[in-house]
Structure 1
């Protein structure tokens, strides 16, 4: 009997070589695990069909705090695993099929190889998915509102600076990755793309999900591609404070990591894109976080891990599904995202340090003014002010 293509060591070796060239770490681990079974002369198809005990942990999808984790723990089957999954739990099968079925897994790895550069080339936003009713439920849960203070000319491109990051950037996702708050109606002619850590675009399946919402990697190449599109109407949304700012996302805290952030200013000047400050009132209120002031051992560990992994690990909690004292669901507190006035920017391919300083200070002044003008509308104490780090 001829073994399937994916059970042949030669095919696996070729696939590994291709993935090495693309530096696709996640897929390499996946295929190396498959190769290890082949090294022991045990075809993967037989392992899946006849083993009686499995420990399979599968990450389905994550949407800024709403994690769907499918866990199949020590399944003891006395028959065909595939048939059992299909008959008893079809929903589980839909999520696990790509990881449990070696053929589908290899096909997805090939697709991943071909599609590797898509996130950096504008992604693959699916307008239909952005209009699903589920996002309206998410909007109403908090609730979340998008507030417009000035018109944005659709013939121009924009760099929108989002503050603060919060724990999970819920306001940015709901307002700029879905139509739940009416972005396209408030700003007709604009297409929004939210920047996200490149790490997440290396996760199988999850990368396709986040691209469908208009997310792209937070690197210069991705942002430049969008701002170079002819005709204008492109709005690149950047959570300027990034992962480090999440460690300061405590209720009642108005710390903004901006004092030394000039990369997005340079990006805007190089492409002649107007700068637009955004402040999301309530973003820091939907989760509690374990106290981690600077200088403590906890903050040191968090910052150290963030420098190594690229993501921050705030120890947050809020409420549960049926009780309000503890859990990982966010509190139902309003988030009001206020979009400020655009700052005109003239295109300059080689901005000087002085140019960066001038526009950076102007941006900080506009963000401060935006906060002071609107804080009284959203329950912020009169004596509270932005603290720039």
Structure 2
């Protein structure tokens, strides 16, 4: 295979963009296990007290992730996230106003491999969510597993990430003052196994937990589609029914995280590596679906609202797909 190296005269601005995305990919893939190793390693050195004191802090601070976390606005506003935004680039598009007197659940689709669009739009301040939707604070759900990693849990909480369990979301949605936007990548980790260029397969047909959560708290639903999310990486062929897909699904069931085998480009060359391609991401926030509070919805009521949400998401995709380079004959597939 011939390797295509990056030219030596790449502008500094583009190098900074690449560096910002490289640190993000590193954080997503390797930082958590490295933090665990560091925690254990320090216990067997003269710096053992650092781990011991952190363990005490961890015990005292155990409930913080499930109680809104600990966002650090300064960290969310760092210039490094602007460089990350411009690498692809990523843009956030608004189709309707949201009332800050209410709470909302934003269903993000598709998950993609590393959820780049969701992180850049809703966790950090790079694409102007606060200006487009004034009065709101975003919280994005992430697998609870990552909040069990020492040091790493504190890092991800800085960006408004909270565990993806019912208790954590309910803590925010029951706030009567409103202004809370809980972002859920509805397809979750399993959907990442279908993330490849040109794929529009969403794990949604049987995903009703977020709809029931919205009904229980009277939180309005907002479909969000991120065009370009699946274009960032290639993935080893793992279609349903193959032995690789069977192994991946078994491991996902055991560990709670999916393990897509993905690749794209490198830092200094364009032929292979774990850096995403420079492909544009356009995240479109749809119109809100009004939800009346119903703490004990019937199966029929739940199914009706779930269908309403799927129809709204499908319509959102159809209305905007041509604008963002999707073929007219391409449609969403719900599984």
Task: Kindly report which structure 2 residues correspond to 1:28-39, keeping only aligned pairs within 5 A, or say none.
Answer: none
Question: 4+ residue runs of structure 1 moved beyond 2 angstroms?
Answer: 61-70, 96-100
- Corresponding residue for residue 239 of structure 1: 185
1:227 matched residue in structure 2: 173
Q: Does 1:134 align with 2:80?
A: yes
Q: Which structure exhibits the higher relative contact order, with contacts defined as CA atoms closer than 8 Å and separated by 6 or more residues?
A: 2
SS at match of 2:205: coil
State the SS of the aligned residue for 1:247. Answer: helix
Partner of 1:374: 320
* Cα 1:276–1:327 shift into 2, 3 Å: same
Shift of the 187–336 alpha-carbon distance from structure 1 to 2, 3 Å rule, reads same
Q: Distance in 2 between matches of 1:346 and 1:69?
A: 42
Q: Distance in 2 between matches of 1:367 and 1:356?
A: 17
- 1:184 maps to which of 107, 123, 130: 130
Q: What CA deviation, in whole Å up to 9, does each residue of 1:155-207 have, x standing for no partner?
A: 01001000000000000000000000011000000110000000000001110
Secondary structure of 2:156's aligned partner: helix
Q: 1:62, 1:243 → 2: CA distance?
A: 21
C-alpha distance in structure 2 between counterparts of 1:230 and 1:63, whole Å? 35
1:64 CA displacement: 5.2
Question: Is residue 54 of structure 2 the alignment partner of residue 102 of structure 1?
Answer: no
Matched, 1:271 2:217: yes
State the TM-score, normalizing by the size of structure 1. 0.76
Q: RMSD of the alignment, in Å?
A: 1.9
SS of 2:327's equivalent in the other structure is: coil
Q: Give, in angstroms, the shift of residue 97 of structure 1.
A: 6.5
| Distance in 2, Cα, partners of 1:368 & 1:349 | 27
Match among 132, 143, 168 for residue 114 of structure 2:
168
Q: 1:230: Cα distance to partner?
A: 2.3
Partner deviation per Cα, 1:126-174 (whole Å, 9 max, x = no partner): 1111111010010001111100000000001001000000000000000
SS where residue 369 of structure 1 aligns?
helix
Alignment pair present for 1:259 and 2:200: no
- Note closer, same or farther for the CA distance 1:277–1:99 as it changes in structure 2 (3 Å cut): farther
CA–CA distance in structure 1, aligned partners of residues 160 and 174 of structure 2: 17
Counterparts of residues 309-388 of structure 1 (less than 5 Å): 309-388=255-334
Gaps of 5+ in 2: 1-21, 32-37
CA distance in 2, matches of 1:129, 1:306: 31
Equivalent-residue separation in structure 1 for 2:117 and 2:236 (angstroms): 22
CA shift for structure 1 position 330: 0.5
Q: Secondary structure at the match of 2:321?
A: helix
Distance 2:24 2:85 in 1: 13
Distance 1:361 1:330 in 2: 34
* Equivalent residue number for residue 249 of structure 2: 303
Q: Decide whether aligned partners of structure 1 residues 217 and 69 sit closer, same or farther in structure 2, where only a CA change above 3 A counts.
A: closer
Contact 1:64 1:170 in 2 (8 A): no
With over 3 angstroms needed to count, the CA separation of the structure-2 counterparts of 1:350 and 1:69, relative to structure 1, is closer
- The residue aligned with 1:280 is 226
Is the Cα contact below 8 Å between 2:25 and 2:275 reproduced in 1? no
Q: What is the TM-score normalised by the length of structure 2?
A: 0.88
Shift of 1:383: 0.3
Cα distance, 1:371–1:232 mapped onto 2, change above 3 Å: same
Give the match's secondary structure for 1:166. Answer: coil
C-alpha spacing 1:291/1:68, structure 2 compared with 1 (3 Å):
closer
Q: Deviations over 1:315-356 (max 9, x none)?
A: 000001111110010001001100000000000111111111
CA distance in 2, matches of 1:382, 1:68: 35
Determine the C-alpha separation between the residues in 1 that align with 2:161 and 2:281: 21
For 1:340 and 1:223, the matched residues in 2 are separated by 21
1:122 to 47, 51, 68: 68
> In terms of Rg, which structure is larger?
1
Q: Structure 1: how far apart are the matches of 2:24 and 2:108? A: 18
